[in-house]
A and B are shown apart, each in its own frame.
Chain A
Amino acid sequence: MLRRAIENLGNRTIQGVWRMGFATRFFLAVLLHSGTAFRRFGLTIREMYFSGVLSLIIILVSGLFVGMVLGLQGYETLQTYGSEEALGILVALSLVRELGPVVAALLFASRAGSAITAEIGLMKATEQLSAMEMMAVDPIARVVAPRFWAGVFSMPLLAALFSAMGVFGGYLVGVQLIGVDEGSFWSQMQSAVDFEQDILNGVIKSVVFGVAITAIALFEGYDAPPTAEGVSGATTRTVVTSSLAVLALDFVLTAFMFRGLN
Chain B
Amino acid sequence: MNKTVLDLWVGIFVVAGIAALLFLALKVGSMNTVNTSDSYTVLARFENIGGLKVRAPVKSAGVVVGRVSDIRFDNERYEAAVTLRLDKRYAFPKDSSAAILTSGLLGEQYVGLSAGGDSVKLKQGDRILITQDAVVLENLIGQFLYGKAQEGAPQ
Contacts and interface: CB of A to CB of B under 8 A. Distances in A.
Contact of B30 (A46, A48, A164, A193): A193
Contacts of B18: 157, 160
A164 B20 contact: yes
Contacts of B1: 49
Interface residues of B, number: 27
Nearest to A50: B6
Contacts of B28: 92, 96, 163-164, 167, 189-190, 193, 199
A199 B25 contact: yes
B21 interface: yes
Contact of B23 (A45, A53, A164, A198): A164
A247 B28 CA distance: 25
B30 A45 contact: no
B56 to A, nearest CB: 10
B13 interface: yes
B91 interface: no
A207 interface: no
Given A157-B20, A161-B20, A262-B53, A199 B29 contact: yes
A49 B20 contact: no
Contacts of B23: 164, 167
Interface band, chain A: 20 to 34
A161 B33 contact: no
Residue among A48, A92, A164, A199 with the most chain B CB within 10 A?
A164
Contacts of A193: 28-30
Contacts of B14: 157
Nearest to B14: A157
Given A199-B29, A262-B53, A49 B6 contact: yes
Contacts of B31: 195
Contact of A160 (B6, B20, B29): B20
A185 to B, nearest CB: 11
B9 A53 contact: yes
B129 interface: no
Interface of A: 42, 45-46, 48-49, 52-53, 56, 92, 96, 154, 156-158, 160-161, 163-165, 167, 186, 189-191, 193-196, 198-199, 203, 262
10 closest A-B pairs (Cβ-Cβ)?
A157-B17, A193-B29, A164-B20, A160-B20, A190-B30, A160-B21, A161-B20, A53-B13, A195-B29, A53-B9
29 contacts: A45-B6, A46-B6, A49-B1, A49-B9, A52-B10, A53-B9, A53-B13, A92-B29, A96-B24, A96-B28, A157-B20, A158-B17, A160-B17, A160-B20, A160-B21, A161-B17, A164-B20, A164-B24, A165-B20, A167-B28, A191-B30, A193-B29, A194-B29, A194-B55, A195-B30, A195-B31, A195-B33, A203-B21, A262-B54
